[in-house]
Amino acid sequence: MTPTHRGPELPTARGPLSRAVITLLRTDPAEDHEAALRPVPAEQDCWSEDHQLALYLCYELHYRGFAAVDADWEWHPAQLRLRRALERPFLAELRARTGDRPSLHELLEQLLVEPVDGSGPSYFLLEEGMRRQAQEYLMHRSLYHLKEADPQAWVIPRLVGAAQAAYVAVEFDEYGAGRAERAHSLLFAEMMADFGLEPTYGHYAEVAAAPALAVVNLMSLFGLHRALRGAAVGQFATVEITSSPGSARLAKAFERLGAGPAGTLFYREHVEADAVHEQLVRHGVIRELLLSEPELEDDIAFGIAATGLVEDRFAAHLLEHWRRGDSSLRSVASGGAG
């Protein structure tokens, strides 16, 4: 399977905000775009389908962009003003929802402990999930895992010394440790193909629900802002410290649901790799970073708490729909789950 650099098609708008972004991106960047901010109201529901898709569209310009969208839009002032009007309330909401949080030390200790209720999506898929629900899970997660470590890569030039070296060591593994065929994004694409899904980058943005978009938007928000580098490290730490047990459950669940070797390799790879990464992130990245920049301690804690918030919302969305027997997608994708 050879990855393509061609960006996906623009998805369908979900309201006035995403419609404004799509309209903007379909025009010539050389035109006058002073009206771009007019559709953005002062009060917004930052968790809505419309808001999260609009923000996702802006952020994707920094990755592979979209088919037939001029590359000059990435740093165009009109687009950046619109993006800023969307991300400021989202960031404010994240801070407000996580303001009363434990210390960084307590949060890191909590990440090392598996939830006692066993009620997350990986438990559900292992114990009672159906193949179509596993497909839905992969469709949602594809917006993240087909770019795997790209949002976190922006943090590399914002770290120095031992913290940077340890961070790069983890990222090196995410990109296949020098072997393109072992890159985690490619392993995820091969897993999707094993489940009969379309593994093209961004293909399922059309049907991915707002909680899945919020997970990806959080990473892009933190990665794109140097001032949020501590929060980006917190997000990175959360994923690397917590993913090993869940990956083991998902590998077993997918095997139970008929996946072949390619359909479980991505998660089997993460069971062992992230057990090593956990130590590197805690002791090599966070400890060393705080030795040089102790003022980032609260930002790292914020990143951990905010990541937990968006992941919990995504999990709740999946379980609410699955327990009712409904699809968790915005609509049934043609050729996808079902």
DSSP string, 211-248: HHHHHHHHHHHHHH-GGGHHHHHHHHHHHHHHHHHHHH
pTM (2 d.p.): 0.93
Longest Cα–Cα distance of the chain, Å, equals 56
Ranges of residues in the chain whose predicted pLDDT is under 70: 1-5, 33-39, 42, 116, 273-275, 332-338
pLDDT of residue 32: 72
Helix axes 297-324, 77-97, angle to 10 degrees: 90
Q: Are 149 and 174 in contact (CB under 8 A)?
A: yes
pLDDT of residue 337: 41
pLDDT of residue 96: 97
Measuring CA to CA, which residue among 15, 69, 70 is closest to residue 47? 15
- Rounded to whole angstroms, how far apart are CA atoms 159 and 59? 22
- Rounded to whole angstroms, how far apart are CA atoms 2 and 180? 10
- Rounded to whole angstroms, how far apart are CA atoms 149 and 240? 11
Q: What is the CA radius of gyration of the chain?
A: 19
Measuring CA to CA, which residue among 111, 144, 123 is closest to residue 242? 111
pLDDT of residue 4: 54
- Rounded to whole angstroms, how far apart are CA atoms 238 and 300? 10
pLDDT of residue 274: 59
Measuring CA to CA, which residue among 223, 267, 275 is closest to residue 247? 267
Chain segment 45-83, per-residue pLDDT in tens:
999 999 999 999 999 999 999 999 999 999 999 999 999
